[in-house]
Structure formats: C-alpha cells, structure tokens
Amino acid sequence: MTDVAQSSSGAYALPRRRSKLEKLIQNVSFWRGVTAVIVFLCVWEVGSRMDEWLGEAWTVPFVGLIPPPTDVAVAWLEVLPKAGYWNSWYESFRRVLSGFLVAMALGIPFGLLLAVNKYFRDLFFPPFEILRPIPPLAWVPASLIFWPTNEMSIAFVTFLGAFFTIVINVLGGARSIDVRYLRAAQSMGASQWHLFSRIVLPATLPSIFTGAAVGMGITWEVVLAAEMISGGGTQGGGGLGFFIWNSYMGGSLTQIVVGMISIGIAGFLSSSAIRALGDWFMPWKRMF
C-alpha cells in the first residue's frame, strides 16, 4: 500500500511526487551500470599497464596493446576544443539521421503492406528476401560507382543499413497479431481503416520501435565504414569514420580509441532517443 502523509487537520495528503533526478539517484539499475563502467575502466587500466609495472612477460594479450584509459582521456581533452572533432560528430549524425529517416518513411509502409496485402506480399517479398542477406557494406563499391557523389553513396548505404531491419520487424509484428481481434472488430462493423488504425498499427508499434532501435545501431556501423572507405571529405567534415581513419594514418592510437568511444556514445544517444520516442507513442508501457 502507498504511504500517505497525515496533516495536522487529520486529512490525508497525497505523497510528494519525486523528480526525475531523485528517481535516477534511487534507481538501483542505474548504479549497477555505473559500477560496471568503473570496473571495466579499472580492468582496462590495469591490463594496459601490466607490462610497464611488471615487465614484458606480464603483457596481457590484446588489452596490453591498447592505450590505457588515462592516456585516452588526455588525447580526448586535446581534441575536444577543436572544431574538426565536433564537425565530425555533426557530419556523421546528419548522415545517419537522413538515411534512417528515409528508411523509416519507406520501410514502415512497405512492411505493413507486406503484412496486410497477400498479393503485394507475393509480388515483392521474394526479391526483398533475396536482397536482404546482402551486407550493406557490400553495396559500398557499387554505390560509389552508380551515385554521382560520395555523399549520395554514403546516404544510400546508410539507408540500406536500416531499411531491411525495419521492414522485417514491422512485418513480423503485424503478422503476429491475433486474428480473433480482427474478426471481432469486423463483426462489430469496423471498416478496413478502423482495423488498421485501431488494431494493426497500435499492435505493430512495439515491433516498429524495436526495428528502429536495431536499425539505428546498424546504421551507425554502416555509415562509419562508408566514411572510411569513401574518404568522406576532410578530417573536419568527413565524419567520425574518417576521423578514425585519419588518426590511423597519422599513427595516433589514442585518437583511434577516442573515435571509437565517440561512436559508442553517439549510438547510445541515438538509441536512447528512439526508446524515449517509443515510450511517448506507447504510454501503456509505462504501466508495467
């Protein structure tokens, strides 16, 4: 039972609503995540410096070849004031967002049509299934040939990275709807539009946002690889992928790790935004 406060007049007052900061501080899962990150950084630091402290015989495989997080932090502080670093963030975010939005705009209707229209599915699903297993990065050489600019090539490959995942999730979500709901609505005189807007679309929303979250992760992988392969311009405008490639060509291993961590942060922010948008579109999820 919920505790309530009793006022001096004998009336009971509703409990004070906690702020988002208070909820975050009192969230056990949040502190578990913070602890996991701290432990990971400590293990990384110790593993990277074992050869310095105890000799080369104690070099930890793989980890011993990576710069320690303290050195990475110093390199990060050096690039933070530079405009080129933040331009790389902007360019990668712009490419990811443009390709992802086009994939959503085309993938969601396409997946719903595959689910609700048998003739459309019989016609378009076989070629879709043939193209789907092809990795998006396999399209990079062809896109560089057929598209007039590198920017259009990157946008096309980024679009492919999210499109197939979104379509297959939308199709699976719509096809898993219990047909008894549709028959019950039809027996009460529901039109095709009401069946779609009141049953099919709300029931497919979880699959749509699941596909969007997975597609966003694939999109970041694809756009970074495409930026490395295509060149993407200069270090200031080439995106995070070209930032990593430029750091590799310059022999700066710490900046490579900085770019990798930047990608992880960018992907986390993108996925968090999709989850927040999904919670807004599906308020019933907050009840559980």
* pLDDT tens digit sequence for 198-220: 888 888 888 899 889 998 988 99
Long-range contacts of 259-264 (CB under 8 A, 24+ apart): 261/72, 261/76, 262/89, 263/220, 263/224
Q: What is the mean pLDDT of residues 99-119?
A: 91
Q: What is the mean pLDDT of residues 117-127?
A: 91
Q: Two tokens at 112?
A: 């719903």
pLDDT of 105 > 90? The answer is yes
Instruction: State the virtual CA torsion across 75, 78, 83, 86 in degrees, nearest 10.
Output: 40
Max CA-CA distance within the chain? 80
* Residue 242, phi then psi, degrees to nearest 5: -75, -30
Q: Two tokens at 248?
A: 């590799």
The model's pTM: 0.79
Enumerate residues 6+ apart whose C-beta is below 8 A from 69.
41, 44, 45, 48
pLDDT winner (highest mean) among 8-12, 24-28, 129-133, 234-238: 129-133
Enumerate residues 6+ apart whose C-beta is below 8 A from 236.
83, 84, 87, 88
pLDDT score for 231: 60
Give 170's pLDDT tier (boundaries 50, 70, 90): very high
The percentage of residues in the chain with a pLDDT greater than 90, rounded to a whole number, is: 19
The DSSP code for 200 is I
Residue 81's Cα: distance from chain center in Å?
26
pLDDT of 239 > 90? The answer is no
Top-confidence residue, 58 or 288: 58
pLDDT of 6 > 60? The answer is no
> Which CATH number applies to 80-287?
1.10.3720.10
pLDDT score for 127: 93
Q: What is the mean pLDDT of residues 233-238?
A: 50
* pLDDT tens digit sequence for 123-143: 999 999 999 999 888 888 888
* pLDDT tens digit sequence for 264-284: 899 889 988 998 888 888 777
pLDDT of 288 > 60? The answer is no
pLDDT of 235 > 60? The answer is no
* pLDDT tens digit sequence for 17-29: 666 667 767 777 7
Q: What is the mean pLDDT of residues 159-179?
A: 89
Among the listed ranges 150-154, 180-184, 228-232, 249-253, which one has the minimum average pLDDT value? 228-232
- The total of other beta-carbon atoms located within 10 Å of residue 269's CB is 10
- Angle (CA) 245-156-117 rounded to 5° is 145
Domain ranges of the chain: 20-60+68-73, 80-287
Percent of the chain that is helix, strand, coil (3-state, to 5) = 80, 0, 20
pLDDT score for 11: 53
pLDDT score for 9: 52
pLDDT of 177 > 70? The answer is yes
pLDDT of 237 > 80? The answer is no
Average pLDDT, the chain: 82
pLDDT score for 124: 93
Give 1's pLDDT tier (boundaries 50, 70, 90): very low
